């Protein structure tokens, strides 16, 4: 198998974190953009517009060693017929694992119990004060049967939980309002599109059961954040928020201080040792390309209306 001429377009610290350098050297010859046949991209890749593409006459494909491609794959790429691949499937695994953990902890009322214990510093009668804690028979609502949403559903299968799914592309899924009303835990996995902006607005947030937990590891724009803050200030629901608008909240945001909020800095996706999974997926795609095989994880222009 001949090596593929690739240009690395990503943050300079990423290649050694993403790739087994020995395997990368076997699969790819790293060359300047002007000689590249494949862009091997990652976080920090510039937009591949006409100005960039005009410098790469031999370019045939883009292999992204991360999730979403909308930030750098432009119309010019599609117009030139470039093939595109993504490691979004590999990134789905840690997000799904994190989501599963948060769903189970929410059902157990673990965060509420921890808050009570920290405040009182004394014994708590858990059975009487938290009579509805536990995961047996609880209802989990999955909003969006994306790669991550589907993987979360698979990971939930061993547990005694009822799972509802709301997705306009999935036959037999329930209406979003019905899911919100019926669920003890709601987890968002829909893409951020003009049609999904503020998918959960004030009216829909009000449909959540008292004591329900809302988990967002998808995109901040899916929720009307001001309406969410109002619900959370009331203490009626809990939230696990990994993504916000803006991505880093201003220091005065009440979300930092509300006791019924777990606020994290976009940690659900691949971190630390997990990013190696993304690099391995990208190198697998490069090997397929070198053998003349189709990508296992392609992205098409038509997919952009359904992916994050």
**pLDDT 10s per residue in the chain (308 long)?**
689 999 999 999 999 999 999 999 999 999 999 999 999 999 999 999 999 999 999 999 999 999 989 999 999 999 999 999 999 999 999 999 999 999 999 999 999 999 999 999 999 999 999 999 999 999 999 999 999 999 999 999 999 999 999 999 899 899 999 999 999 999 999 999 999 999 999 999 999 999 999 999 999 999 999 999 999 999 999 999 999 999 999 999 999 999 999 999 999 999 999 999 999 999 999 999 999 999 999 999 998 877 76
Answer whether CATH 3.40.50.720 is correct for domain 4-86+272-305: yes
**266 counts as catalytic:** yes
**Cβ-based neighbours of 88, under 8 Å, separated by 6 or more:** 66, 67, 68, 147, 297, 307
The pTM of this model reads 0.93
Answer whether 4-86+272-305 and 91-263 agree in fold.
yes
Looking at residue 2, its pLDDT comes to 86
| Domains in the chain: boundaries | 4-86+272-305, 91-263
Backbone phi, psi, residue 215, to 5°: -115, 125
**CATH classification for the domain delimited by 91-263, as one of 3.60.21.10, 3.40.50.300, 3.40.50.720, 3.40.50.2300:** 3.40.50.720
CB 61 within 8 A of CB 29: no
Counted residue by residue, the chain has a size of: 308
State how far the Cα of 303 lies from the Cα of 308, in Å rounded to an integer.
10
Catalytic residue among 80, 203, 266, 301: 266
State how far the Cα of 65 lies from the Cα of 4, in Å rounded to an integer.
16
Catalytic residue among 147, 219, 277, 297: 219
Which string of DSSP letters, residue by residue, matches 259-305?
TTEEE-SS-SS--GGGHHHHHHHHHHHHHHHHTTPPPSSEE-GGGGG
Q: Check whether the bond before 60 is cis (ω within 30° of 0).
A: no
Looking at residue 142, its pLDDT comes to 98
Catalytic residue among 16, 247, 293, 301: 247
Looking at residue 304, its pLDDT comes to 81
**115 counts as catalytic:** no
**29 counts as catalytic:** no
The two three-digit tokens of residue 124, written as one number: 């708590």
State how far the Cα of 146 lies from the Cα of 217, in Å rounded to an integer.
12
């Amino acid at each position: 198998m001949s090596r593929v001429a690739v240009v690395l377009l990503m943050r300079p610290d990423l290649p050694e974190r993403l790739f087994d350098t020995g395997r990368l050297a076997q699969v790819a010859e790293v060359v300047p953009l002007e000689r590249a046949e494949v862009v091997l991209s990652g976080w920090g890749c510039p937009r591949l517009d006409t100005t960039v593409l005009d410098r790469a006459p031999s370019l045939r494909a883009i292999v992204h060693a991360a999730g979403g491609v909308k930030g750098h794959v432009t119309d010019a790429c599609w117009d030139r017929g470039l093939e595109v691949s993504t490691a979004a499937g590999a990134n789905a695994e840690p997000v799904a694992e994190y989501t599963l953990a948060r769903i189970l902890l929410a059902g157990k009322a673990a965060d509420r119990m921890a808050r009570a214990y920290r405040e009182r510093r004394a014994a708590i009668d858990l059975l009487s004060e938290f009579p509805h804690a536990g995961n047996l028979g609880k209802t989990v609502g999955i909003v969006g049967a994306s790669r991550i949403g589907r993987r979360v559903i698979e990971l939930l299968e061993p547990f005694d939980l009822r799972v509802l799914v709301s997705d306009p592309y999935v036959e037999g899924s329930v209406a979003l309002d019905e899911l919100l009303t019926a669920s003890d835990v709601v987890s968002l996995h829909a893409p951020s599109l003009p049609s999904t902006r503020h998918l959960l607005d004030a009216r829909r947030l009000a449909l959540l059961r008292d004591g329900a937990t809302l988990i967002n590891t998808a995109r901040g724009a899916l929720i009307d954040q001001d309406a969410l803050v109002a619900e959370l200030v009331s203490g009626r629901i809990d939230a696990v928020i990994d993504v916000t608008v803006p991505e880093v909240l201003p220091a005065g945001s009440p979300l930092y201080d509300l006791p019924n909020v777990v606020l994290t800095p976009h940690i659900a996706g691949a971190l630390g040792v997990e990013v190696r999974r993304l690099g391995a997926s990208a190198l697998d795609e490069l090997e397929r390309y070198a053998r003349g095989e189709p990508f296992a994880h392609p992205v098409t222009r038509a997919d952009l209306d359904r992916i994050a």
